[in-house]
Amino acid sequence: MKQYYTQMEAAKKGIITPEMEIVAAKEDMDVEPLRERVAQGVIAIPCNVRHSSISPEGIGMGLRTKINVNLGISGDCKDYSVEMQKVDMAIRFGAEAIMDLSNYGKTNTFRRQLIEKSPAMIGTVPMYDAIGYLEKDLLDITAEDFLRVVRAHAEEGVDFMTIHAGINRRAVEAFMRDKRKMNIVSRGGSLLFAWMMMTGNENPFFEHYDEVLDILREFDVTISLGDALRPGCIDDSTDAGQISELIELGNLTKRAWEKDVQVMVEGPGHMAMNEIEANMKLQKRLCHNAPFYVLGPLVTDIAPGYDHITSAIGGAIAAASGADFLCYVTPAEHLRLPDLSDVKEGIIASRIAAHAADIAKGVPHAREQDDAMADARHKVDWDEMFKHAIDPEKARAYFESTPPADRHTCSMCGKMCAVRTTNMILEGKKVEFCSEL
């Protein structure tokens, strides 16, 4: 007999859960409007009933833009201790979510440790883990095998799972008709496409979608509907394959809500700046205002080594236009597995993008930290400035690397500091430079 409600089921019944109260307090909003939006599906609170260390967060309409950090081992980088250091860094810099994308060997030991210690919500892509977990080649894996991996992740306490259920035969037909430069760049999507083409079968996550939802509902796991046909270069954006899959995702969203399973929908990808706003509005329209989770978008294809910047530009535009959740991108994107320095750069870039978008969207209290920084700069109070900086350690290190003669200025302008000059005049003081040389 079931002993609890999912967040969506409770919300539909008018029940305010402890998780809703925590999220409402974090967002500084009344809990009743939050409950109503969870019931409608426009806000999700990914929170597996077995993730006891979680500090719940809300994703969706009217809330702060959240960020996700990807990590995990690969066949070429197998050191779980390094990945756990990345976890510590993600938590330290306030990432609300961590996705374990490990795709080598037995990953469940690391995942269990991650879930045990992390207050951030944890996401996975079961498709990545299937080959290692099952110890089978792709062609030998059955639909039932894929469902076994989904259940295993749910039982371990994963809060949300990327399930590529939208790349069905109809979406594949559209993709095949409309030729692309980069074809399929989603790792999970490419594996499913290969499995479908080799076996001749329908996508198992689409064909057995109700069974997937039953597993997720049992543990209150949020489904993150993966965009297997997301564009991998700006030339492929907003094409037939991407839009065809998006239409399928809209239908899958409604089917999940009918079973009281919370939903997020994943989005592009690579996309020119002038297309981003229209894509955000199209996704919200086709997917019934479900929370939107974007990877980037990367606004140009020519900046390997700097893709945290191209992603932050696209992410800020996307979130200002309606996206709710940004997946970070590091300088190592397209090049290698990110190291600790890359992870930090990616987190900071995404946090800047999310915060800038929250200001643009008029999220309540989003500007308060900026106003506090402006007050500190007006007073030339360096300690107060560092306190309000996204990365206080870096800001302090830069300032102190070339210390000014007068701490009321910095080494760029010295005594010609505009703030110092104006403050002195407004205080009735005389500004003199030659006498001070």
**pLDDT tens-digit profile of 309-337?**
999 999 999 999 999 999 999 999 999 98
Quote the CA–CA distance of 197 and 203 in Å, as a whole number. 10
Same domain, 434 and 325: no
Q: Is residue 44 part of a domain?
A: no
Which one is predicted more confidently, 168 or 77?
168
> Is 279 annotated to bind ligand?
no
Backbone angles phi, psi at 242, to 5 degrees: -60, -45
pLDDT in tens, 278-296: 999 999 999 999 999 999 9
pLDDT beyond 60 at 409: yes
Residues 205 and 130: beta-carbon distance below 8 Å: no
**Domain membership flag for residue 331:** yes
pLDDT at 105: 62
CA distance linking residue 296 with residue 309, whole number of Å: 10
Q: Is 84 helix (H, G, I), strand (E, B) or coil?
A: helix
Residue of 70, 82, 89 lying closest to 391 (CA atoms): 89
Residue 251 has, within 13 A of its CA and on its CB side, a CA count of 12
Per-residue pLDDT averaged across 129-142, rounded?
86
Residue 247 to residue 146: CA distance in whole angstroms: 24
Asked if residue 27 belongs to a domain, the reply is no
Q: Is residue 345 part of a domain?
A: yes
Distance CA 27, CA 112 (A): 29
285 known member of a binding site: no
Integer Cα distance of 239 and 214 in angstroms: 33
d(CA 212, CA 7): 18
Q: Is the pLDDT of residue 104 over 60?
A: yes
Identity of the residue numbered 171? A
Chain centroid to CA 250: 20
Say how far apart CA 8 and CA 260 lie, in whole Å. 5
pLDDT of residue 3: 52
Within this chain, do residues 173 and 314 fall inside the same structural domain, yes or no?
Answer: yes
Tell me: do 253 and 379 sit in the same domain.
no
pLDDT at 77: 62
Is 99 a known ligand-binding residue?
yes
- Is residue 424 a known part of a binding site? no
Whether 242 and 143 map to the same domain: the answer is yes
Structural domain of 418: 405-437
Which amino acid appears at position 217 of this protein? R
Question: What angle (nearest 5°) sits at the alpha carbon of residue 266, between those of residues 153 and 136?
Answer: 40
Cis amide linkage into residue 331, ω under 30° from 0? no
Q: Which of 337, 361, 385 is the last residue of a domain?
A: 361
- Closest-CA residue to 111 (of 146, 145, 64, 149): 149
pLDDT for res 4: 74
Give percent of the chain with pLDDT exceeding 70.
Answer: 97
Residue 1 reports pLDDT greater than 60? no
Distance CA 426, CA 416 (A): 16
Residue 206 lies in a domain: yes
Q: Please indicate if the annotation marks 230 as binding a ligand.
A: yes
- Which range of 40-44, 169-173, 187-191 scores highest in mean pLDDT? It is 40-44
Tally of structural domains, the chain: 3
Q: Which amino acid is at 435?
A: S
Task: Tell me whether residue 270 is annotated as binding.
Answer: yes
Q: 75 a known binding residue?
A: no
Judge whether 228 is annotated as a binding position: yes
Question: Is residue 46 a part of any domain in this protein?
Answer: no
Residue 231 shares a structural domain with residue 113: yes
How confident is residue 384, by pLDDT bands cut at 50, 70 and 90? very high
Q: Taking residues 155-176, what's their average pLDDT?
A: 96
Q: Residue 225 forms beta bridges with which residues? A: 163, 265
pLDDT band at 80 (very low <50, low <70, confident <90, very high): confident
Q: What is the CATH number of the domain that holds 190?
A: 3.20.20.540
According to the annotation, is 164 in a ligand binding site? yes
**301/185 Cα distance (integer angstroms):** 14
Local structure of 100: helix, strand or coil: strand
Tell which residue, 427, 316, 335, 419, has the closest CA to residue 377.
419
**How large is the average pLDDT for residues 75-79?**
67
pLDDT at 75 over 90: no
Query: Both 257 and 393 in a single domain?
Result: no
Does 198 show up as a binding residue in the annotation? no
Residue 178: which of 136, 239, 269 has the closest Cα?
A: 239
Ligand-binding annotation for 128, yes or no, is yes
pLDDT at res. 132: 75
Residue 120 labelled as part of a binding site? no
- Examine the domain organization and report whether 148 and 206 are in the same domain: yes
Instruction: Tell me if residue 77 falls in helix, strand or coil.
Output: strand
Interhelix angle for 80-92 vs 340-361, to 10°?
30
Element (H, E) at 66: strand 66-71
pLDDT number for residue 435: 61
Per the annotation, does 153 bind a ligand?
no
- Pair 74, 219 in one domain: yes
Q: Do both 191 and 332 map to the same domain? A: yes
DSSP assignment of 315-349: HHHHHHTT--EEE---TTTTTS---HHHHHHHHHH
Q: Is 127 known as a binding-site position?
A: no
Q: State the average pLDDT over residues 401-417.
A: 84
Q: What pLDDT does residue 282 have?
A: 97
* Whether residue 385 sits in one domain with residue 299: no
Please check whether residue 33 lies inside any domain of the structure.
no
Bond prior to 189 in cis (omega within 30° of 0) = no
Identify whether residues 426 and 285 lie together within a single domain: no
The whole-angstrom separation of Cα 287 and Cα 290 is 6
For residues 325 and 372, membership in a common domain is answered with no
| pLDDT tens-digit series, residues 417-437 | 899 899 999 999 999 887 654
Which string of DSSP letters, residue by residue, matches 19-50?
A: HHHHHHHHHTS-HHHHHHHHHHTSEE----TT
Q: Tell me: is residue 334 an annotated ligand-binding position.
A: yes
The pLDDT, as a whole number, for residue 37 is 98
Lowest-pLDDT choice from 51-65, 133-147, 212-226, 256-270: 133-147
Q: Tell whether 154 is covered by a domain.
A: yes
CA–CA dist 262, 234 (Å, integer): 31
